[in-house]
Structure 1
Amino acid sequence: MHIEPFAIAIAEHDIDDLRGRIRATRWAPATPSPAWQQGADAAWLRELAAYWAEHFDWRAAERKLNQQAQFIADVDGQRVHFVHRRGDGRAPYPLVITHGWPGSFFEFHALLDQLCDPSAFGADPADAFDVVVPSLPGFAFSPPPARSGTSAFQVADVWAKLMRGLGYQRFGAQGGDLGAGVSIALAMRHPQAVDGIHLNFLPSSYEPAIGAAQRPLTPAEETFLREKGEWAALEGGYAHMHSTRPLTAAASLNDSPVGLAAWIGEKFRVWSDCNGELERVFSKDELLTNISLYWYTQSIGPAMQMYWENRLQPMRFAAGQHVVPPVGFAHFPKEINHPPRSWLERTFEVTQWTDMPSGGHFAAMEKPALLAAEIRQFFRPLRQRM
């Protein structure tokens, strides 16, 4: 496996082009509805766009991103961009963390500090990790796959080869959103290498075996399935578009930075524990660093493609099928779904379950200290397998 160092260096003319496009935006007519009721609020979007064009310093963001050691690996023809942060402890434990949509590797900037240098935060240095954060194929600086068929399962195979290529024969995995699916797929397909997985989200396509031959649904499971369906009907339009007509949406979002900011920014508000006030949790600079990564790499279309692929290869389990490596789950109160523990235990050996006090879908950005403490606790007994 060939690996080469990588540093982000966006061309100046691309920065100028972005600013020009924002200034030339043809704004959609306002509708007589309360703010945020029908999607991204127009006043908020105008304010964010003005900041993006006139005040946001991409070069400062770029320097911050480049503080993390980044690389490009060629894994059987698939080029993968990844951050590789070595831990500061005596025997750091290897951990691969996978992001989702509408996030990126940038999500884990603060979490990496917590995991790789725990003593700096008053935690035990023996809990340090070597952390690998790959960008999913088609996201950021990982080129999209050359062929169709790359779902969470195929990404897991690439991650397993990447970790072996980095010298890690055994490791743990962690993820939310799409990254939760990749982490589960790693445990399913590579149990000989994966000691355990920690999740802060359950993929919507996860479906354990249910039916006459299985134990009946509990009241909590029935409530979860009903609420899941209600959420999909009212809030899941983006996912239906991604998984059925990604190219139609990509044609607009790849051409309009304001459209892209609306598509992504609205999800950060709705899915986070911000009480409707986005900048209580994320600064404009943080939001725009993430959105700019999608813009400069033209990755919104390829990113949506993974929803198409995952729809064709859903995460369904047959009767008697179980995942061998243990699972830890951090249940954040403002997450977009709320499975009961029993729903996971139909398939997984859940050895750690924590109802978190606060936080939402973007846990690594919202509550890095809380998430790091959960990850440390879960993997502590698994380190002895190294």
Structure 2
Amino acid sequence: MKNVTEFKVAVSQPVVDDLKNRLQNTRWPGEAEGSGWNFGTSESYLRELVRYWLNTYDWRKQETQLNQYPQYIADVRGVKVHFQYIKGKGKNAKPLILTHGWPDSYYRFHKIIPQLTEGEQSFDLIIPSIPGFGFSDKVAITSEAVADLWKTLMTENLGYEKFYAAGGDVGMIVTKALASKYPGIVAGVHFTDIGYPMGQEDPATMTEAEKQFAQFVQQWWYSEGAYAMVHATKPQSIAYGLNDSPVALAAWILSFTNAGATPELIEAAWGGKDALLTNIMIYWTTQTIATSVRMYKADAIAQWSGAQPLQKSNVPAGLAVFPREAQFPKEWAERFVTVASFRKMKEGGHFAALEVPDVFATELRSFFYSIH
């Protein structure tokens, strides 16, 4: 490895003590009677979660678990990139880079590490933190620029001639850019979402299934898309409160999971209270919520400035549509990637790697070992 140093998560005790003080001194706003999750994050649920956070959640235990796999910091084109690097046990393990999104982190993939590194059909897993997230440098750059960093990380820092890539949410955009820009190096890609109609498509070119998908997406943006508009236009305004109050940070992250959902569904999506809180803690202890949301602004500026859209990729792509994810049709995916596999999954949602890790790991292995 080149320009790479070992890393361990080690949060100082004063940071943990300060967190507890802030949680204990929260000024609760109150909520409309009977509103539940319809106005945003439920205060009654959040109060319960904060009690758990204060009295039961054990950060030091979670910190030990975060450190159970090898982690490193690489200097990639002058940007410090944090990543987990776990070698597969098979003789011909495939290098696979997994990219998270927002509001999750590299922690999104921790449950699938054992499944994907064991056995003959295994992978060398590279799981980085996007710059501006977690333990990487606190800088906000575009998704396409992240793809450029990943290509350098994989080929120059780690020495792979070719590699595979998978991602969802922001990680989807990064992975799609990798496939489009570096088809000679990226051997295969996998997605759980593939982008959304934003009103720029010619309806005459769309199938009936695509039109129905576009209508669903439009309705979703009206009811649930406020976070993205805020991030893309006023990320600094929201950052002050989120960086200062752990309860505000938790509320904002939870509100994205699914307004109107039951607490059981929300916790299932993250894999339980501990996993939910550990993801939040990664943002809190590194103070990276500001740069993470600022990435939306960076991408928006690139789009508004007339950046050329990426060309359709000819790299073999696998797509898994989970039932609690936006149900995009195959022909929509074919606009952007060369679809080698398109599967409708029976369970799971936006954070499938956390919610149904066995299902997700099996899907990745079966696809990537089917194309080469």
TM-score, normalising length: structure 2 = 0.93
Residues 39-80 of structure 1 deviation map (CA, whole Å, 9 limit, x = unaligned): 111111001111112221100000000001100000111000
Please say which of residues 198-207 and 84-93 is displaced more in the overlay.
198-207
Contact 2:317/2:338, CA 8 A, preserved across alignment: yes
Indicate the SS of the match to 1:90: coil
Q: Bigger shift: 108-117 or 128-137?
A: 108-117
Offset of residue 169 of structure 1: 1.0
1:198 alignment partner in structure 2: 190
The 3-state SS of whatever aligns with 1:102 is coil
SS at match of 1:127: coil
Q: Which residue of 1 aligns with 2:102?
A: 101
Aligned-pair CA distance for 1:200 = 0.6
Contact 1:243 1:311 in 2 (8 A): yes
Q: For the structure 1 residues 216 and 96, does the alpha-carbon distance in structure 2 shift closer, same or farther, using more than 3 Å as the test?
A: same
Match of 1:142 in 2: 136
The alpha carbon displacement at 1:301 in A equals 0.5
Alignment partner of 1:15 is 2:16: yes
Q: Which aligned pairs between 1:326-345 and structure 2 lie closer than 5 A?
A: 326-335=316-325, 337-345=326-334
Report the equivalent of 2:209: 220
Q: Look up the SS of the partner of 2:80 in the other structure.
A: strand
Q: Hey, what's the Cα distance between the residues in 2 that align with 1:354 and 1:267?
A: 25
**Larger CA deviation: 274-283 vs 66-75:** 274-283
What is the CA distance between 1:298 and its match in structure 2? Answer: 0.4
Q: Percent identity?
A: 39
Q: Deviations over 1:182-229 (max 9, x none)?
A: 00000011111101110011234789x9549xx731110111111111
User: Aligned-pair distance for 1:283?
Assistant: 1.6
CA distance in 1 between counterparts of 2:7 and 2:197 reads 34
1:361 corresponds in structure 2 to 350
What is the aligned partner in structure 1 of residue 166 from structure 2?
A: 174
Q: Assess if the C-alpha contact under 8 Å between 1:271 and 1:360 holds in 2.
A: no
Structure 1 pair 206/178, CA: closer, same or farther in 2 (3 Å)? farther
Equivalent in the alignment of 2:152 = 161
- Partners in 2 of 1:128 and 1:277 — Cα distance? 31
Q: Which amino acid aligns with 1:367?
A: V
User: What SS does structure 1 have at the residue aligned with 2:342?
Assistant: strand
**Residues 271 and 334, structure 1, Cα contact 8 Å, conserved in 2:** no
Say if 2:176 is the partner of 1:184: yes
Partner residue of 1:44? 45
Whether the 8 Å contact between 2:38 and 2:259 is mirrored in structure 1 is no
Q: Aligned partners of 1:246, 1:83: CA distance in 2, in Å?
A: 28
Q: Deviations over 1:133-167 (max 9, x none)?
A: 0100010000123xx6x211110000000001211
Kindly provide the CA deviation profile for residues 315-356 of structure 1, in whole angstroms up to 9, marking residues without a partner as x. 9748xx421211110000101x22110011123210100000
The answer for unaligned runs of 5 or more in structure 2 is none
Tell me the equivalent position of 1:260: 249
Q: Structure 1 205/312 Cα, relative in aligned 2: closer, same or farther at 3 Å? A: farther
SS in 2 for 1:79: strand
Post-superposition, which runs of at least 4 consecutive aligned residues in structure 1 deviate over 6 A? none
Residues 96 and 163 in structure 2, CA contact (< 8 A), matched pair in contact too: yes
Aligned equivalents of 2:197 and 2:183: distance in 1? 21
Aligned equivalent of 2:301, options 303, 308, 312: 312
- In structure 2, C-alpha distance between the alignment counterparts of 1:144 and 1:71, rounded to whole Å: 16
Q: How big is each residue's C-alpha offset from its partner over 1:294-314, in whole Å with a ceiling of 9 and x where there is no partner? A: 100001110001111122334
**Partners of 2:32 and 2:209 in 1: CA distance:** 39
Quick one: distance in 2 between partners of 1:239 and 1:89?
41
> 3-state SS of the aligned residue for 1:333?
coil
Which deviates more from structure 2 when the two are superposed, residues 162-171 or residues 24-33? 24-33
The residue that corresponds to 1:293 in the other structure is 282
Q: 2:315 aligns with which of 312, 315, 325?
A: 325
CA distance in 2, matches of 1:204, 1:250: 26
| Structure 2 residue identity aligned to 1:72 | I
User: Would the aligned equivalents of 1:269 and 1:276 in 2 still touch at CA under 8 Å?
Assistant: no
Aligned to 2:67: 66
Distance 1:275 1:326, change over 3 A: farther
- Which is worse superposed, 49-58 or 235-244? 49-58
Shift of residue 23, structure 1, vs aligned partner? 0.1
Tell me if structure 2 keeps the 8 A contact 1:270–1:276: no
Please say if residues 163 and 185 of structure 2, whose CA atoms lie closer than 8 Å, have aligned partners that are also in contact.
yes
Amino acid at match of 1:116: T
The code of the aligned residue for 1:328 comes to G
- Is residue 2:120 matched to residue 1:126? yes
TM-score of the pair, normalised by structure 1: 0.90
- Aligned residues, how many? 366
Q: 1:102 to 1:73 in 2, by over 3 A?
A: same
RMSD value, Cα:
2.0
Q: In 2, Cα distance between the equivalents of 1:316 and 1:345?
A: 19
SS in 2 for 1:88: coil
